[in-house]
Amino acid sequence: MYLWWVPSSRVPPDGDRSMNTPVALTEITRLSTETNEGAEGLLGGPGSPRQGSTDDDEILIELVKALFPRKPYCLVEDWTIFKVDVTEDELQKIHAAGKLPLVLFAHNVRFDSQRRFDVGDWVRSTMAISFQDGFLFETWNTVYVLVGPGHEKSARLETIFSFF
């Protein structure tokens, strides 16, 4: 069993963030047992099927270069888009920051224009600033080109970031 630190507002008063605190162990148990919120459900469970691009990599590379000429890009497959569950107030803050409540996780990098990731690596994005044509997922730093089939799921932000 792997343990990880879960960012939370429930940090003990003494500031101890170790995994052996009752708060951390309770949070780990909660995350691993909630429906579609544990690691297996979050990454491997059912979600709404979505289809990314079916074009060849060369065509996709030329397209992303034309649409986003100075922005790094990354072709990914076996991906999931997480719709972040937020309150109306949180949504307004996200939009005020110029972002959308969407985060991408991909199990397989096919190509990265800046060579930040090796082929076959996994990647998790920051929040999107645009999502076009069902396969161009843009963040402040990168355009992710979604290739082939994927999924869409909902999850809390702290859950999404706690696993990656």
Q: Give residue for tokens 């396969």.
A: 135
* 2: confidence class by pLDDT, cuts 50, 70, 90: very low
CA distance 1 to 163: 13
Q: pLDDT for 89-122, tens place per residue?
A: 999 999 999 999 999 999 999 999 999 999 999 9
Question: Which phi and psi angles does 4 have, rounded to 5°?
Answer: -140, 155
Domain coordinates of the chain in residue numbers? 1-33, 46-162
* 35: confidence class by pLDDT, cuts 50, 70, 90: very low
CA distance 158 to 1: 20
Contact of 99 with 68, CB cutoff 8 Å: no
Q: Nearest-5° angle of CA 155, CA 160, CA 17?
A: 125
